[in-house]
């Protein structure tokens, strides 16, 4: 079952990092978690290697293993080897590992606020990382990362810097001793897209200047495509494909890579309108790994052979673990997309019937009016007083006079970076935040519902999914049996099984929780379905499923969609019309296709340019 280790490396030089057949298993009372199941990977000196995978693929565990930061050996089982400069990190003593960290291998983590010491000045933390450097060299290190006024920033505490600057400090610390390898685990995931672009560029430039290799761990193929010399793809604890970036992206050999590339919403080409190709199903449970190919249940070219351990194919510098490497040239357009049509139609008919029963509203599709009209909406927050008896400062204007309209059954996306006021605007529209001035007019029907970014937190933890959906039906004067049926219809409409009704939120996976939250919101189909970053917390393969689901529900139930996101490609995949917000104001609006093809406002142009795009790399 383990991969043949010999002859994997195709380059003659000693790799900066060589991982061979690495197994890492965390024992747990509910079944051992197989985080890595024979991962094999090389990072050559001076190269930028991207490690792409979804959550649970084991990519972060691999990074920690390279750093020698995994928990003590008593708490997990390991086999295989992680060789750093000729020395095995797995068998090394803690002292040996500590000696390697800092001088030979360093790390940059996702949350710079958590990895910087909040009680130490920036300069002191840099001095700790580079003990021999004097004050001038420390300032120079900071200046190298493009931090403005580095001399003044040396005396700052981490909380005084913005997220982008903190991550630059982390980069300065990581590169202070010219390490041979930097492990960057999701270094830009917490940053806005324009800042992300600058930090990535900096990361590439600095590692090149210091002659370091970079292992860039990310869930975002786009980020990897923009930066990396080679890309490796992790799935269910194994590295299923490794190769030069351009070739992996243009002609992927593993079906998972093909599906991952296909299911990404794009900024160019045909607008998906709810027909994004999807990877069906869910990533496998790391507690019960498959004997053969772990991807087989979701793979369009799988056959009986896939139940056997996967062979490794090495063709022109590329490594692929698949029985049918290269057999899946293009992901089937809709072949394996999940269909909810039957359940959905029944739910719709039920709604129309109940609507006629109540004689309250005609079917939403035929109403030629607006689902939402927002007029000059303003939201101001009182500024904190500087002194106890001082006068309050000028109020903070989160939203400064926004007007927009969504036709019944239409879809509008609001895009912007953090602090643009898009979420405050959404909360005012659904009625969770009182506007300072302006009006929100909702069309006739069942009002507005909101899908939250964190689906898990938006479900009451101690109520079953069924009970939470049923709560929404209280106004419909239905009998108990009717309500039960409606709950099941709502669940089926979002592709959840009937058993989900009795489940508590914590027993569902992230993707299923977001579906449950959607089911709850559409149990009584609202006039307007507002979504606050509904897919940003989901993995790529699940995000495209949810985007398609939202589009399908919009078409079938005649909902209007209001979609707030920082992800321009996701906005393009679902919206007819797009509004770009910055600093609480609308800076540009227009039909999705026009706006993304020919942005007029400089801010929109900057946003679009910052989005890492695969097409450019491939």
Contacts with other proteins, residue ranges (CB under 8 A): 360, 430-435, 440-450, 452, 454, 457-467, 470-477, 480-481, 483-484, 487-488, 501-504, 517, 520
Q: Is the dihedral of CA 603, 605, 609, 611 positive or negative?
A: positive
Q: How far is the CB of 465 from other proteins (least distance, A)?
A: 7
Buried b / exposed e along 178-216 (16+ C-beta atoms within 10 A): ebbbbbbbbbbebbbbbbbbbbbebbbebbeebebbbbb
H-helix or E-strand containing 411?
Answer: strand 411-415
- C-alpha distance across the termini of the chain, in Å: 33
Nearest residue (CB) to other proteins, 338 versus 460: 460
Nearest residue (CB) to other proteins, 128 versus 499: 499
| CA gap 519, 449 in Å, rounded | 11
Nearest residue (CB) to other proteins, 162 versus 358: 358
Nearest residue (CB) to other proteins, 30 versus 72: 30
**CB neighbourhood size of 1 (10 A):** 12
Q: How far is the CB of 529 from other proteins (least distance, A)?
A: 11
| CA gap 99, 163 in Å, rounded | 29
- CB–CB of 234/59 below 8 Å? yes
Q: How far is the CB of 191 from other proteins (least distance, A)?
A: 23
- CB–CB of 178/211 below 8 Å? yes
The DSSP result for 120-174, as a single string, is S-HHHHHHHH-TT--HHHHHHHHHHTT-SSHHHHTT--GGGS-HHHHHHHHHHHH
Residue 34: phi and psi, rounded to 5, are -90, 90
Q: How far is the CB of 9 from other proteins (least distance, A)?
A: 41
Q: How far is the CB of 203 from other proteins (least distance, A)?
A: 33
Nearest residue (CB) to other proteins, 222 versus 443: 443
| CA gap 25, 227 in Å, rounded | 31
Q: How far is the CB of 357 from other proteins (least distance, A)?
A: 13
Nearest residue (CB) to other proteins, 190 versus 473: 473
β-pairing, 577-582 with 585-591?
A: antiparallel
Q: How far is the CB of 475 from other proteins (least distance, A)?
A: 5
Q: How far is the CB of 374 from other proteins (least distance, A)?
A: 10
Nearest residue (CB) to other proteins, 140 versus 369: 369
Q: How far is the CB of 105 from other proteins (least distance, A)?
A: 30
Residue 459: phi and psi, rounded to 5, are -100, 130
| CA gap 364, 284 in Å, rounded | 40
Q: How far is the CB of 310 from other proteins (least distance, A)?
A: 33
Residue 108: phi and psi, rounded to 5, are -125, 125
- CB–CB of 265/547 below 8 Å? yes
Nearest residue (CB) to other proteins, 160 versus 471: 471
Q: Which residue has the tokens 């689901």?
A: 549
Nearest residue (CB) to other proteins, 300 versus 510: 510
Nearest residue (CB) to other proteins, 211 versus 447: 447
| CA gap 425, 446 in Å, rounded | 20
C-alpha distance from residue 166 to each of 156, 444, 597 (Å): 11, 48, 34
Q: How far is the CB of 160 from other proteins (least distance, A)?
A: 27
Nearest residue (CB) to other proteins, 37 versus 483: 483
| CA gap 128, 203 in Å, rounded | 21
Closest CA to 207 of 258, 156, 257, 172: 172
């Amino acid at each position: 079952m383990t991969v043949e280790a010999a002859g994997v490396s195709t380059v003659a030089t000693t790799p900066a990092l060589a991982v061979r057949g690495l197994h890492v298993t965390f024992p747990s009372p509910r079944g051992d978690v197989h985080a890595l199941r024979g991962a094999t990977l090389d990072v050559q000196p001076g190269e930028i290697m991207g490690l792409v995978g979804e959550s649970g693929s084991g990519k972060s565990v691999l990074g920690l293993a390279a750093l020698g930061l995994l928990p003590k050996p008593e708490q997990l089982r390991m086999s295989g080897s992680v060789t750093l400069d000729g020395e095995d990190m797995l068998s090394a003593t803690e002292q040996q590992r500590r000696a390697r960290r800092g001088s030979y291998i360093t790390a940059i983590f996702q949350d710079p606020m958590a990895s910087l010491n909040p009680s130490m000045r920036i300069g002191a933390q840099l001095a700790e990382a580079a003990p021999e450097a004097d004050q001038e060299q420390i300032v120079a290190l900071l200046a190298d990362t493009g931090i403005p006024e580095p001399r003044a920033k040396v005396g700052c505490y981490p909380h005084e810097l913005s997220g982008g600057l903190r991550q630059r400090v982390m980069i300065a610390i990581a590169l202070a001793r010219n390490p041979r390898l930097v492990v960057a685990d999701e270094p830009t995931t917490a940053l806005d897209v324009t800042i992300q672009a600058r930090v990535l560029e900096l990361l590439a430039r600095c590692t090149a200047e210091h002659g370091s290799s970079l292992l860039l761990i990310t869930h975002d193929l786009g980020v990897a495509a923009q930066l990396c010399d080679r890309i490796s793809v992790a799935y269910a604890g194994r590295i299923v494909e490794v190769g030069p970036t351009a070739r992996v992206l243009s002609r992927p050999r593993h079906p998972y890579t093909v599906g991952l590339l296909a299911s990404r919403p794009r900024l160019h080409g045909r607008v998906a309108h709810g027909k994004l190709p999807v990877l069906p199903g869910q990533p496998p449970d790391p507690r019960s790994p498959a004997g053969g190919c772990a991807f087989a249940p979701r793979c369009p070219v799988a056959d009986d052979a896939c139940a056997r351990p996967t062979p490794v194919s090495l063709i022109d510098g590329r490594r692929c673990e698949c029985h049918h490497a290269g057999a899946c040239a293009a992901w089937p357009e809709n072949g394996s997309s999940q269909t909810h049509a039957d359940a959905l139609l029944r739910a719709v008919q039920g709604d129309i019937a109940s609507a006629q029963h109540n004689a309250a509203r005609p079917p939403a599709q035929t109403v030629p009016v607006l689902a939402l009209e927002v007029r000059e909406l303003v939201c101001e927050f009182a500024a904190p007083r500087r002194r106890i008896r001082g006068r309050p400062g000028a109020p903070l204007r989160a939203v400064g006079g926004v007007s927009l309209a969504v036709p019944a059954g239409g879809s509008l996306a609001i895009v912007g970076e953090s602090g643009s006021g898009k979420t405050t605007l959404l909360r005012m529209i659904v009625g969770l935040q009182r506007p300072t001035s302006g009006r929100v007019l909702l069309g006739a029907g069942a009002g507005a519902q909101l899908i939250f970014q964190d689906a898990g937190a938006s479900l009451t933890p101690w109520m079953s999914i069924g009970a939470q959906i049923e709560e929404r039906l209280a106004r419909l004067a239905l009998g108990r049996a009717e309500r039960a049926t409606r709950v099941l219809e709502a669940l089926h409409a979002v592709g959840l099984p009937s058993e989900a009704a009795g489940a508590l939120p914590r027993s569902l996976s992230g993707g299923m929780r977001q579906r449950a939250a959607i089911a709850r919101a559409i149990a009584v189909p609202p006039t307007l379905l507002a979504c606050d970053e509904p897919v940003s917390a989901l993995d790529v393969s699940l995000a495209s499923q949810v985007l398609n689901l939202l589009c399908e529900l919009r078409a079938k139930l005649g909902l209007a969609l209001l979609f707030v996101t920082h992800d321009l490609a996701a906005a393009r995949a679902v919206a007819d019309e797009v509004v770009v917000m910055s600093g609480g104001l609308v800076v540009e609006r227009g039909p999705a296709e026009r706006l993304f093809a020919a942005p007029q406002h400089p801010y929109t142009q900057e946003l679009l340019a910052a989005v890492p795009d695969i097409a450019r790399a491939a």
